Amino acid sequence: EQTVVLITGCSSGIGLSLAVRLASDPAKIYKVYATMRNLAKKERLLDCVKGLHKDTLDILQMDITDQRSILDARDRVREKRVNILVCNAGVGLMGPLEAQSLATMRQILEVNLLGTISTIQTFLPGMKAQGHGRILVTGSIGGLQGLPFNEVYCASKFAVEGACESLAILLQHFNIHVSLIECGPVNTDFLDNLQRAEPGDSSLQQVDAHTRSLYDTYLQHCGMVFQNAAQDTEDIVKVFLDAIQSSNPAFRYYTNNALIPLSSPKISALDGSQYIRNMSKIIFSTNGKGEQK
Ligand code: NAD
């Protein structure tokens, strides 16, 4: 019997790579439902799987902010079961907080937080009834530590951590494992897809000059971090496979060990001030390098 895997956000990036890898498994042990908000974007996935994968891949429309669309996708799963649910879809938002509109902030929370939670909610009864299941969530370093100019994104990803940890405690009683795959920077469309305040934006012009100059520094830092430390989606997929293949998966997996030391002051100095100082130094230090070494 095939392991049925349903993945959200498969038109690009991590979701696409994971879908391709699982659907191309030589032993054909996975049946992948690669879902995406906009089916017009399915060509890229189809190009990557090359050839026919009728028995291992199906592509379904699913917008995680639309309850109807989640339910429709669920009902189209022919096996009538999902063994592994991968909540991967997400969007970024970057810029000074004062430059963000309420509508934009809502949209980020709608996708990253409520979209993830309502996807899990929809598939939970089936998993409970079948007596087993895996829920894998693409987490972010931004869900473990605050990052300047990413307040709303971090808030959404921190919130996902809270939801998953809470669920993990309960779901042990149902033989359902929840795991977060915590990613640092990954080479995907994420930076292109994220909503970002750009230098010419009128919303940014209203922000004070000091904040704008710190934002410039941050953007340089961010560019450098992506250049030096970004992983390829294949690296992330390997970690997903570790979690999928483990008989007793951990709650958290870190894709990039280099990023763990950044979080450790949060644990060793519980008042939080050391992490804030360290991060400020790393990002805004005047040597202009901001290298995380
Ligand atoms: P990506 O932009 O290539 O992929 C995100 C996917 O989510 C896209 O295919 C997009 O269409 C989809 N999506 C957005 N809104 C959706 C909706 N309402 N319904 C369904 N799908 C929707 O970027 P990625 O890096 O592959 O992102 C995947 C996940 O990884 C996200 O949750 C992101 O927060 C997380 N992540 C990415 C990075 C990074 O540096 N790339 C770092 C940490 C975490």
For residue 184, the SS3 value is: coil
Give residue 140's identity as a one-letter amino acid code: S
Which residues on adjacent β-strands are paired with residue 189?
A: none
135-161 average pLDDT score: 97
- Provide CB contacts within 8 A for 197, sequence distance 6+: 94, 95, 96, 99, 100, 203, 204, 215
Strands, E, within 88-152: which ranges? 93-94, 133-140
Half-sphere exposure of 163 (CA within 13 A, CB side): 22
Question: Residue 181: which of 222, 144, 133 has the closest Cα?
Answer: 144
Q: Could you tell which of 59, 188, 239 is best to mutate to test the pocket of ligand 1, judged by most ligand atoms within 8 Å of the CB? A: 188
The pTM for the full model equals 0.95
pLDDT attached to residue 213: 95
- Each residue's pLDDT tens digit, 32-43: 999 999 999 999
Residue 159's pLDDT band (cuts 50, 70, 90): very high
Q: Which of 153, 218, 254, 275 is catalytic?
A: 153
101-107 average pLDDT score: 96
pLDDT attached to residue 287: 52
Residue 290's pLDDT band (cuts 50, 70, 90): very low
Regarding the beta carbon of 265 and ligand 1, being less than 6 Å apart is answered no
Which strand (E) or helix (H) includes residue 95?
none
Strands, E, within 141-285: which ranges? 176-183, 195-196, 252-254
Regarding the beta carbon of 45 and ligand 1, being less than 6 Å apart is answered no
Q: Whose CA is nearest to atom 43 of ligand 1?
A: 140
